[in-house]
Amino acid sequence: MTPGGVLQDTYNRTIRDLRISITDRCNFRCAYCLPDTEEAANFYQSRKRNSFQGASSKKIIHNWKPKSELLSFEEITRIVKVSSSLGINKVRITGGEPLLRHGVDSLISSISNLGVIGDLSLTSNGSKFPSLAKKLKEAGLNRITLSLDSLNHKNFRRITGSDGLDNIIESIDIAKALNLTPIKVNAVIIRGINDHEIDSLVEFSIRKNIIIRMIEFMPLDSGRTWQRKHVVPGEEIINRVKSKFSITRLPSQNLSETATRWSIGKGNAEIGIIAPVTKPFCGNCNRIRLTSDGKVRTCLFSLYEHDLKSMLRDGSSNFKLESRIKDIVLKKESGHSIGKPEFIQPKRTMSCIGG
């Protein structure tokens, strides 16, 4: 820890970004996260050839955390306040699907009213956003990231288990109208499932004048179905885009940026490539994550979680919370080990971690 409220780990990375999951529940069943749809199971089974533990056609039972185990909005706001005194200035609200939790706008308002967070954003699947968008904007939300893995209704349902494609497109239009910008749209690209839609997703980005981010498939799914052969490398994605579109590489805005960015078309449309599997960006990672039940994760792929909830509920002072957060950050890993023999997939899925 250096002077002036700068939170650093043992690798001299400065931590500025706090991702906060407010629920582990989700109303989608995405193939890369909670794949309990029959079509997702069939896809993986057809490719496993008995060589790995793939998805089962048997429905997966998800044991969601009871409300009593979740942090209250007051507890979350307190952690944000304490973390901001250590240099955190960027907060993203995630899930699960965060808009499934009642009263999210009140949490946004509480964090915004602290006056210490410069970038307050939210990630959503868009299913509930149209009805809540105006409230979220008025509460102080700066911008939103939405998930859009397919533009084909049948394939969208195959990937997500939902018929929510139209809701997401409506959400994009509403977010633009409310100036919740820059709007980022995430697409997890999986070979054999939606990699044939790369061009159409780029065309959609140009048409809507938004940022599309294509993300490599990561081993964070509840079905434990991930295999490297399902990953479409970021380099392959951008080469395919280059073959069809005129794009220009954009300079990095900061060292901790997760995406390589390219402008496309004549407006502000962009494509971002996030390649944590083939080109890890761990060396400049400035993020920590807070789970909905009050655990700090120092990496998406951490095998260890550090409890804060007990301190929030036992009367510990803010000073003790600060000290605890400093100690946790010092335990932040140098990076993940995907692709290495020692790699172990975390027990919790992306829906529990808060990406």
Mean pLDDT, contiguous 10-residue spans, the chain (355 residues) = 70 96 90 63 52 40 74 98 97 95 98 98 97 98 97 95 95 98 95 96 97 89 72 96 96 83 92 91 90 92 91 97 97 81 71 69
Q: Count CB atoms within 10 A of the CB of residue 296.
A: 23
Q: What is the pLDDT of residue 35?
A: 55
Continuous segment of H or E residues that includes residue 147 = strand 143-147
Q: Count CB atoms within 10 A of the CB of residue 266.
A: 9
- 154: tokens are 């049948």
φ and ψ at 250, to 5 degrees?
-100, 145
Q: What is the pLDDT of residue 303?
A: 84
How far apart CA 105 and CA 136 sit, in angstroms, is 5
189: left (phi over 0), alpha (psi -120 to 50) or beta: beta
Architecture of domain 17-353: Alpha-Beta Barrel (3.20)
